[in-house]
Amino acid sequence: MHYFKKLYPIFTVIVLCLIWELAVRFFKVPILILPSPSDIYLNLVLRHELFLTFSIPTLIEIFAGFFMAATTGVMLGIMVSFSPFAKSSIYPLLISSQMVPKVAIAPVLTIWFGSGLMAKMFIAFLIAFFPITISTMVGLEAIDPEMVRMFRSMGSGPYRTFMKLRLPAALPNIFAGLKIGMSLAVVGAVVAEFVAADRGLGYYLLYANGQLDSPGVFSALVLLTLIGVTLYYAVEFAEYLLVPGVLHKETDLTKASM
């Protein structure tokens, strides 16, 4: 029964697709305005080779950007929470750096890094790393100082206290940040492809749009959504493996709205 409940959202999607399909047929909506789910499905099947070759670069960009964001974000979060000096000198800059519209820097980055993987990875990284840094920091600082005192009284040094107390206590927060970061990395990669690219799903989406190929646009959208959802659940699965069950909590994805 418990696992069955997890399938409920899939039923919802099926029902919605059915309504969509019937509505498009019943009201005779032109395919240019809104293709029906079956049109999109046929388009995906018909041109599956093309979509496969266009998905791979986007996947690599998302992955590379996320990986960079995850390592940098967690490191920065640890640094800022450990050193008062780093906190006072870096943290305010981190906050104000979020006021810079990163999407707007994308063209500049394209000038610097060209239209290859590098620029796209970097844009995905820039968009994704901030929530990871902040949640790592929040997680590490939410620890009861009494607990730290207790570890100190047992003769535990900073490293052991970090490994046995701070890190496990901060893991749920770190993973909350990683999940938000993952969904933002997808946004970053697509935006980067909008600016300058000769391959990738984002690039294809713009191209199909220019051709008034609505089924093509929607196919790219469906694939991007699938990639995003899959990667999100991959992070959730890693969390399931690494974080003790009693600490699991829901991630508030509304924070990731872009």
Partner 1 sequence: MKLLVELKEVGKIFPARRKGSAQVEALRPTTQNFCQGEIVTIVGPSGCGKSTLLSLIAGLEMPTSGELLIEGKKIEGPYTGSGIVFQKDLLLPWRTALENVLVQAEARGFDPKAYTDRAQELLKLVNLQDFANFYPHELSGGMRQRVSICRSLLHDPQLVLMDEPFAALDAITRDQLAIDFDKFVQAGQRTVVFITHNMDEAVFLGDRVMVMTPRPGLIADVIEIDLPRPRPLSIRDTPQFTHYTAQVRALFMKHGIF
Q: Which is nearer to partner 1, 161 or 183 (CB)?
A: 161
User: Under a CB-based contact definition with an 8 Å cutoff, are residues 157 and 57 in contact?
Assistant: no
Phi-psi label, residue 84: left if phi above 0, alpha if psi -120 to 50, beta otherwise:
alpha
Distance CA 188, CA 3 (A): 33
**Residue 240 contacts by C-beta under 8 Å, 6 or more apart in sequence?**
248
Q: Which is nearer to partner 1, 23 or 163 (CB)?
A: 163
Number of residues that bind partner 1 (CB under 8 A): 20
Q: Which is nearer to partner 1, 103 or 243 (CB)?
A: 243
**Binding characters for partner 1, 146-185, by CB under 8 A (x = yes):** xx-xxxxxxxx---xx--xx--xx----------------
Q: How far is the CB of 165 from partner 1 (least distance, A)?
A: 7
**Residue 69 contacts by C-beta under 8 Å, 6 or more apart in sequence?**
124, 125, 128, 129, 132, 181, 185
244 binds partner 1 (CB under 8 A): yes
Q: Which is nearer to partner 1, 91 or 151 (CB)?
A: 151
Q: Which is nearer to partner 1, 144 or 198 (CB)?
A: 144
**Binding characters for partner 1, 122-151, by CB under 8 A (x = yes):** ----------------------x-xx-xxx
Distance CA 258, CA 198 (A): 25
Distance CA 161, CA 155 (A): 10
Q: Which residues bind partner 1 (CB under 8 A)?
A: 144, 146-147, 149-156, 160-161, 164-165, 168-169, 244, 246-247
